Amino acid sequence: MTADATDNGYLLSFTTPAAGTLQITLAGSWQVRQALPATTQLDSELKNHPDLRQIRFDSDAMTGWDSALLTFLLRVTALAEEHKLEVDQSGLPDGVQRLLQLAAAVPERKGARRESSKISLLARVGIQATAVAGSTTEILAFVGEATRSLGRLFRGKAQFRASDLLLTIQQTGSKALGIVALISFLVGLILAYIGAAQLASFGATMYVADLVGIGMARSMGAMMTGIIMAGRTGAAFAAQLGTMQVNEETDALETLGISSMDFLVLPRMLALILMMPLLCIYSDLFGILGGLFVSVTTFDIGIVEYLHRTREAVEIRHFVVGIINATVYGVLVAIAGCYQGIKCGRSSSAVGAATTSAVVSGILLIVIATAFLTVIFNVLGV
């Protein structure tokens, strides 16, 4: 008798040509693009005929098959085992028979199937807390190793090449001048516009020079330079060291007895420590020029007058504060980039994740450090 017929490209029917035998006729195309039939009707047939002893197949009218047919047959086989019935596969194509034998040759290992389990809120909090504690420990250990590497440098025992340091200085210094100049000029221009809009209501437009000069010298010049270096240099450090991890170059250095902290991290950290104060001063200059451009072209302030107000308002201590900020930012960007690169996994996706994390963590550390340094300088009255 016919138990099921569909219009999805395949035809499935059940007949009992002999006593104790259920024949499953497979016709049409059994491929993934069609929805698989359910085995509920087969289960009903088996329950309605308790005298059945065997299941066999007829596939002469089948026009095509792929893994969809194998999935259905495995379900039928599992259902037959539940009812303790013999399965005759001789009516199936030879390729299907071989694949079914291969699937049955190695039984599924218990516990191999991934099962989704709902984790409680308290467990998730505990897992995250443990992960944060582990990451904090690793970061502190990395900072400690970097500090020891600096100590070996001062004692003349650090293992790195001067050519690597000079190359990194060039990459982090002179090659960054263009983007630093552009961003700083635009930031100074924005500060001038915002400040003049407010000062004009008090008739004090002249003091826009004070606002731009002090703002750039104390904070904005160093901060914008730090953010630029986090996105440009910190990401490059993470990508370079991460690629070396993938290629097992850092393992080769350790095998040769060369400290990866000295050879890889120390030159990059020194380069940023040396270049960030210079880039900060360069940024301050272009920020002040941006304010000068707005003042001269928009608010009819003379060049000499603007420069005079800037010289009167901006003191050496303002530049010192900015240089200190920039040095701290350089250390943070170098640590963030090198840490993510050294701790990178052994795949291309891990390198991409390390690069992204280096930029995000570098910018986050810069913002946090800016808040702390601003409070400290205000308390000290600097």
**Tokens 């991890």 correspond to what residue?**
245
Cα separations in angstroms, 172 against 76, 190, 220, 240: 66, 26, 19, 14
Q: How confident is the model at residue 7 (pLDDT cuts 50, 70, 90)?
A: very low
Cα angle 175, 185, 299; round to 5:
165
338-378 tens-digit pLDDT: 999 888 888 888 888 999 999 999 999 999 999 999 999 88
Q: Which domains does the chain have, with CATH numbers?
A: 10-105 (3.30.750.24), 132-380 (no CATH)
What does the pLDDT read at residue 114? 62
190-214 tens-digit pLDDT: 998 888 888 877 777 888 888 899 9
Distance CA 251, CA 242 (A): 12
What does the pLDDT read at residue 24? 80
Q: How confident is the model at residue 123 (pLDDT cuts 50, 70, 90)?
A: confident
Q: Which of 193, 148, 158 is nearest to 298 (CA)?
A: 193
Q: Are 258 and 229 in contact (CB under 8 A)?
A: no
The two tokens of residue 69 are: 């047919």
Q: How confident is the model at residue 101 (pLDDT cuts 50, 70, 90)?
A: confident
Buried/exposed code over 367-382 (b: 16+ C-beta within 10 A; e: otherwise): eebbeebeeebeeeee
Cα separations in angstroms, 284 against 70, 143, 184, 249: 71, 30, 7, 40
21-51 tens-digit pLDDT: 788 888 877 777 766 677 777 777 777 777 7
What does the pLDDT read at residue 113? 61
Q: Are 333 and 272 in contact (CB under 8 A)?
A: yes
Provide the phi-psi class of 35: left if phi over 0, else alpha when psi is between -120 and 50, else beta. Answer: beta
What does the pLDDT read at residue 108? 62
Whole-prediction pTM: 0.69
What does the pLDDT read at residue 248? 85
Q: Are 70 and 35 in contact (CB under 8 A)?
A: no
324-337 tens-digit pLDDT: 999 999 999 999 99
